[in-house]
Amino acid sequence: MAGKFAKESYTEMNELVLPNDTNTFGNLMGGRLLYWMDICSAMAAQKHCSNVVVTVSVDNVSFSRSIKLGEVVTIQAQVTRAFNSSVEVRMEIFAQNLPQATKVKTNEAYYTFVAIDPVGKPKQVPELVPETEQEIQLFEAALRRREMRLILAGKLSPKDAPKLKKLISLFGIDGE
């Protein structure tokens, strides 16, 4: 299976924050943003896999700034690494106030997807070929993020996480 470049999965989505998307403070509801993020990142994953994918994990999503009614949300997503049947997708989220010509980064997150065949079984995905310095850094760090996800899901013992061993030893975790 031929590899694909990270840039081939790049997906950008824009949404206008309307009254039905906000809470009583006029801020975008977090659940609505997570919904939009899932759609955008799934499109990036499907571009890479040329296949249907399902969401299997959502990393920590921190809200550094609320997004206001009337602002435009821009979500940029791109695959950072492919494993056997899964891909990691990184997103950056921006809020734009068009009349004031401002654009502020509000969030960053990683979602993981698995490609599935017609009967719902995991399917092999193409390798990811990073090109730029940033793509290479994200590609290499993806192994640590993957190990952390597996540890948090109870699917991997900390002692069996080679990419995290140094970090784990700093916190005095013995992996038992």
pLDDT of residue 70: 98
In tens digits, what is the pLDDT along the chain, a chain of 176 residues? Answer: 789 999 999 999 999 999 999 999 999 999 999 999 999 999 999 999 999 999 999 988 888 899 999 999 999 999 999 999 999 999 999 999 999 999 999 999 999 999 999 999 999 999 999 999 999 999 999 988 898 888 888 887 777 777 676 665 555 655 44
pLDDT of residue 169: 59
pLDDT of residue 129: 97
Alpha helices in the chain (DSSP H): 30-49, 133-152, 165-170
pTM, two decimals, is: 0.88
pLDDT of residue 48: 98
Give the three-class secondary structure for 121: coil
pLDDT of residue 86: 97
pLDDT of residue 170: 58
**How crowded is residue 130: how many other Cβ atoms within 10 Å of its Cβ?**
20
Distance (Å, whole) CA 85 – CA 94: 30
54: alpha, beta or left, given left = phi > 0 and alpha = psi -120 to 50? beta
**Superfamily holding 4-129:** Hotdog Thioesterase (3.10.129.10)
pLDDT of residue 158: 76
Instruction: Identify whether the C-beta of residue 83 lies closer than 8 Å to the C-beta of residue 122.
Output: no
pLDDT of residue 156: 76
Distance (Å, whole) CA 58 – CA 168: 22
Token representation of residue 134: 């940033």
**In the chain, where are the structural domains located?**
4-129, 132-176
Give the three-class secondary structure for 58: strand
